[in-house]
Homo-oligomer: A and B are copies of this chain.
């Protein structure tokens, strides 16, 4: 789902291991709903998310917005652009990011060829993710999108604690990400709840109760009765969580 992930170990781990590392200095804290950068800002930095959640979005001429991805710790931002940022990046929770001067990208590549390759893989994964999301947006129904989305966020956040997880973004953010209206998102969420598939412990906290049914729905099944879900041949086009998994 273009829920970004994929660690650049050399950037995050290294820095934390050596507190005196000069890269360790460029940390920035951003409040929830503040921007890390805006569309068409000069791209003098790329960023690595250290903690929190951000959304990446684009604004079309008519003012419509499309959220092109969410990202949390470990994700790297700004690689899709050249001279100016093509996406806007807004914090949806309090966030800390590590800033990497864009002009030092070249140096980094020179210094550490392995790192360059890692970067290349990372963008590749993001690309794969974006394409997966494209497939989801283009072909799935509202219900499928919601199911896929919930599953992806759940898997991403952790999942192991009994299916409970944070859902820090607003309804409108989800809507803009999935290509729906926020009313539709709201409706589907309550519908899933009514069917007993999920529980909303609070507005921004969710628990998956019937994972199997959600999965079947995500794959295009009708809302049938409960059954042991047939393992998917391919593990569901998890929007794109694919590359997030790959990183672990």
Contacts and interface: CB of A to CB of B under 8 A. Distances in A.
Given A109-B117, A110-B113, A139-B64, A124 B82 contact: yes
Interface residues of A, number: 55
A13 interface: no
A176 B137 CA distance: 11
Given A116-B109, A237-B60, A81 B124 contact: yes
Contacts of A109: 113, 116-117, 120
A158 interface: no
A174 B125 CA distance: 25
A35 interface: no
Interface in A195-233: 219-220, 232-233
In order of increasing CB-CB distance, the 8 nearest A-B pairs are A138-B179, A62-B220, A66-B135, A130-B130, A80-B127, A80-B128, A68-B131, A64-B139
Interface string A124-155: 11111011111101111000000000000000
Given A80-B128, A134-B130, A137-B138, A234 B61 contact: yes
Given A61-B237, A127-B127, 20 more contacts: A2-B131, A2-B134, A60-B140, A61-B219, A61-B232, A65-B139, A66-B138, A68-B135, A79-B127, A80-B125, A80-B131, A86-B132, A109-B120, A120-B120, A120-B123, A130-B131, A134-B134, A134-B137, A137-B137, A138-B177
Interface of A: 2, 56, 58, 60-62, 64-66, 68-69, 79-82, 86-87, 106, 109-110, 113, 116-117, 119-121, 123-128, 130-135, 137-140, 176-179, 219-220, 232-234, 236-237, 242, 246
